[in-house]
């Protein structure tokens, strides 16, 4: 059997592989991106799913439209006004099976082999994996604590003629950084000026611990060049696989044609449950209850870092999201991973987040799915490994 | 914005588009492939989902493995013994988000642009749509009431060197035909002999009204050249999006790497619900209760056809599944579709099921989602349109 060029030499997404390695007992994992178990709203999920099956069970179990469950699309058209996206009709909304499907469908709709995709350096590792399945040429754009370097972005757009620029504006995975408002507006303008699709991936927005919510890049889009992707994986449940893509009707239509082919539709009951979380007000109550949990875990980690880590290393202190980004000059975090797992702690090494595979002396730490005690003990172990 | 070559000229899957046209009140639809509303097991679905959320709610809502929920993979490894597939381990099982995802992931893993895929003539229309999204070259193999023409199949394998041969062995969509046992064995052998992946899509097996269950093509596979895809869309719920692909561990691994990119995982709760339907015995009880419902609808349709249709037309009389296939010499069923909808009846015209777009004088009728009265009235209207 001969596999396709896109898949024959492709190893799995690193995170999904790491999951298997670290399942041995006693390993404290900072590798995943799992919501805290305590923040999974099991009771309300049960209540709403029962109500929906009671009220309209056949519709929940029957086939539905690829575009999504109509009442939920209407709901989402209004929901995104919270990040400044206005005048949205159902034609602008595609319901997707988790936020990541939005990235896959966008690449399916836009990317030919060898087309250029620009990403932040570093970027969400799954986007690099997805890009490989489309044989895209992914290039990194410089980024620092103040977000993307606009000059480098514009220069690379002119030089490389990318189809897509992918960015996580709020509490970026892996760095935890947030893009300032002025840069959001500038990114939207660059998309319009050069005809580049801005793919704005925003799964973490609601998990803000301090500072104020910022308008999305999409909110500055006047020409349909920004596609906004959101997800309920971090605010309700990742296992339910529900998200939404919001963009120009024509772009949404192309994604829909792709979605017809890949999974026909997103699970109807899960869409309706997400809708009920929103319309009942429970989503916002639940977020308000979850944020302090995450914030205190983040504080536990920054405190443990201050306690155990050498001063020559630097770690981010994000205003939200699930990740802290570490720079550990002189240490190869990929090479040290096996030792770390032996010592009972896991993370994701930096080179998984760079388009060019650099970043070996960096690492991503997740704080959302460990206890305070595990965080303290895990950072202590990690400091030893990195010493 | 410049779309990809695969998507820029692609119109939607015809069925998903027809759904929109026929939503006007009063139209009797034989166009879909929807299970009967009365055969959707709402009460048990509610009971099991509640139990699962009660017992292990956090695991149901948290991230899970791309390969699938482990207990369900184990369950499926045993489940397929009912169609003669033995010695299956969890490494041979990938849980998928509906049967159709198995086709998409298989094409992702095997098909380069311009690679050849062989299909039955006529075949499942979605497979033609999916193939277009991989820019595959799809060719039809002759098929009649006795199933695929083995000589034509072998000759086309030799001549065209296809990567994949796709076949629905039980109650094929659209023809309702079933492949005899000897041909199943022969197809498996041809896959091995020429190194062609046999993609066996089997969503309708359990909906058998008469005759005996036959062993799957996969049950004759000694070399790992057959990939078996099954689904719970027709036996539990299409809206739940749960199926499984069973094949050689290496093939399953390649599909898994693709699935990491497209949707991360199938909804955990839906997997666990499907498992409980199986392990409780309810799946088989439910199938036993559903089969007479479908059989009587099928009989209503064959009787109405006998009553209203001219003898010069021929219609299949399947032993199971959801579809009747009609041949209406001299009539262009695509051209007549608008008139039919005006007259209050809908179907899918034949050319949607042929790789080369032929089959204009054929049509597919679905009987599973209409009442007996609607079936009689709808066939009467259709006979007028086709007169």
State the average pLDDT over residues B107-133: 97
Asked if A100's CB is within 8 angstroms of B267's CB, the reply is: no
Asked if A197's CB is within 8 angstroms of B1's CB, the reply is: yes
Taking residue B92's Cβ as centre, other Cβ atoms within 10 Å add up to 23
Alpha helices in B263-349 (DSSP H): 268-279, 282-308, 337-342
Asked if B257's CB is within 8 angstroms of A241's CB, the reply is: no
> Torsion-angle region of residue A194: left (phi > 0), alpha (psi -120 to 50) or beta?
alpha
pLDDT at A17: 67
Size of interface A-B (CB pairs under 8 A): 236
> Is the predicted pLDDT of residue A12 greater than 90, yes or no?
no
pLDDT at B15: 73
Show the tokens assigned to A298: 């983040």
Report how many helices (DSSP H) and strands (DSSP E) chain A contains, helices first: 13, 15
A99 touches chain B (CB under 8 A): no
| Separation in Å, CA A127 to CA A238, B32, B92 | 17, 35, 27
Asked if A269's CB is within 8 angstroms of B16's CB, the reply is: no
- The helix/strand/coil state of A338 is helix
Which residues, other chains included, contact A119 with Cβ-Cβ below 8 Å and sequence gap of 6+?
A127, A128, A138, A139, A140, A141, A165, A166, A167, A355
Q: Which residues of B touch A236 (CB under 8 A)?
A: 61
> Is the predicted pLDDT of residue B19 greater than 80, yes or no?
no
> Is the predicted pLDDT of residue A36 greater than 90, yes or no?
yes
pLDDT at B12: 75
ipTM surpassing 0.85: yes
Which of B10-24, B75-89, B136-150 is predicted least confidently?
B10-24
State the average pLDDT over residues A30-34: 91
Using a pLDDT cut of 90, give the percent of chain B over it.
Answer: 93
Q: Are B230 and B203 in contact (CB under 8 A)?
A: yes
Nearest-Cα residue of chain A relative to residue B66? A16
Candidates B221, B220, B215, B214; CA nearest to B251 is B221
B9 touches chain A (CB under 8 A): no
B23 touches chain A (CB under 8 A): no
Nearest-Cα residue of chain A relative to residue B226? A1
Asked if A241's CB is within 8 angstroms of B267's CB, the reply is: yes
State the average pLDDT over residues B257-284: 97
In the block, residue with structure tokens 């290496």: B250
How big is chain B, counted in residues? 387
Which residues 124-183 of A have a C-beta within 8 angstroms of B?
A: 126, 129-130, 133, 163
State yes or no: cis peptide before A122, omega within 30 of 0.
Answer: yes
pLDDT per position as a tens digit, B341-380: 999 999 999 999 999 999 999 999 999 999 999 999 999 9
Which of the four pLDDT bands, split at 50, 70 and 90, describes residue B16?
low
Which of the four pLDDT bands, split at 50, 70 and 90, describes residue A109?
very high
What is the least distance, in Å, from the CA of B272 to any CA of chain A?
12
A239 touches chain B (CB under 8 A): yes
Candidates A76, A87, A129; CA nearest to A283 is A76
Q: Cα(B63)–Cα(A219) distance, rounded to whole angstroms? A: 30
Mean pLDDT, chain B, integer: 96
pLDDT per position as a tens digit, A225-283: 999 999 999 999 999 999 999 999 999 999 999 999 999 999 999 999 999 999 999 99
- Reported as type and span, the H/E element at residue A147 is strand A147-148
Through-space distance between the first and last CA atoms of chain A, rounded to whole angstroms: 48
A237 touches chain B (CB under 8 A): yes
Q: Are B69 and B95 in contact (CB under 8 A)?
A: yes
Query: Smallest Cβ distance to A254: which of B3, B45, B115?
Result: B3
Q: What are phi and psi of B363, to 5 degrees?
A: -155, 155
> Is the predicted pLDDT of residue A223 greater than 90, yes or no?
yes
A331 touches chain B (CB under 8 A): no
Query: Smallest Cβ distance to A109: which of B3, B46, B65?
Result: B3
Which of the four pLDDT bands, split at 50, 70 and 90, describes residue B5?
very high
State yes or no: cis peptide before A32, omega within 30 of 0.
Answer: no
DSSP letter assigned to residue B370: S
**Cα angle at A71 between A69 and A76, to 5 degrees?**
90
State the average pLDDT over residues B185-207: 98
State the average pLDDT over residues B255-261: 96
Which residues 54-93 of B have a C-beta within 8 angstroms of A?
A: 54, 57-58, 60-66
Angle between helices A181-194 and A150-160 (to 10 degrees): 10
State the average pLDDT over residues A34-48: 96
Mean pLDDT, chain A, integer: 96
What is the least distance, in Å, from the CA of A311 to any CA of chain B?
35
**B73 DSSP β-pair partners:** none
State the average pLDDT over residues B84-92: 97
Which of B107, B251, B264, B352 has the most A C-beta neighbours within 10 Å, making it the best mutation to test the interface with A?
B264
Asked if B49's CB is within 8 angstroms of A53's CB, the reply is: yes
Name the maximum alpha-carbon separation found in chain A.
61
Which of the four pLDDT bands, split at 50, 70 and 90, describes residue B206?
very high
pLDDT per position as a tens digit, A349-377: 999 999 999 999 999 999 999 999 999 99
- The helix/strand/coil state of B220 is helix
Query: Smallest Cβ distance to A261: which of B5, B130, B251?
Result: B130
B265 touches chain A (CB under 8 A): yes
């Amino acid at each position: 059997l001969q596999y396709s060029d896109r898949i024959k030499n492709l190893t799995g997404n690193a995170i999904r592989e790491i999951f298997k390695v670290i399942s041995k007992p006693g390993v404290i994992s900072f590798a995943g991106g799992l919501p805290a178990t305590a923040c999974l709203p099991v009771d309300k999920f049960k209540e709403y799913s029962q109500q929906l099956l009671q009220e309209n069970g056949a519709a929940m179990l029957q086939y539905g439209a690829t575009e999504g469950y109509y009442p939920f699309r209407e709901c989402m058209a209004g929901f995104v006004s919270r990040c400044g996206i206005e005048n949205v009709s159902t034609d602008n909304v595609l319901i997707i099976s988790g936020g990541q499907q939005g990235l896959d469908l966008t690449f399916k709709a836009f990317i030919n082999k060898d087309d250029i995709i620009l990403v932040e350096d570093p970027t969400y590792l799954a986007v690099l994996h997805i890009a490989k399945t489309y044989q895209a040429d992914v290039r990194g754009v410089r980024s620092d604590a103040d977000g993307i370097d606009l000059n480098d972005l514009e220069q690379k757009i002119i030089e490389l003629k990318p189809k897509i620029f992918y960015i996580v504006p709020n509490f970026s995975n892996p760095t935890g950084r947030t893009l300032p408002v002025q840069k959001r507006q500038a990114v939207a303008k660059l998309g319009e000026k050069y005809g580049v699709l801005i793919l704005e991936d925003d799964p973490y927005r609601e998990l803000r611990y301090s500072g104020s919510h910022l308008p999305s890049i999409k909110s500055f889009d006047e020409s349909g060049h920004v596609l906004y992707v959101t997800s309920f994986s971090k605010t309700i449940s990742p296992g339910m696989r529900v998200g939404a893509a919001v963009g120009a009707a024509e772009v949404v239509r192309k994604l829909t044609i792709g979605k017809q082919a890949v999974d026909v539709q997103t699970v109807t009951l899960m869409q309706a449950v997400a809708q009920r979380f929103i319309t009942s007000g429970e989503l916002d109550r639940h977020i308000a209850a979850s944020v302090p949990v995450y914030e205190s875990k983040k504080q536990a980690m920054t405190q443990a870092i201050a306690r155990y880590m050498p001063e020559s290393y630097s770690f981010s202190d994000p205003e939200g999201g699930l990740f802290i980004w570490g720079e550990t000059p002189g240490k190869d975090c990929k090479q040290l991973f096996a030792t770390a797992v032996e010592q009972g702690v896991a993370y994701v090494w930096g080179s998984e987040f760079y388009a060019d595979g650099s970043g070996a002396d960096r690492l991503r730490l997740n704080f959302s799915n460990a206890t305070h005690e595990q965080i303290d003990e895990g950072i202590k172990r990690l400091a030893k490994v990195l010493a």
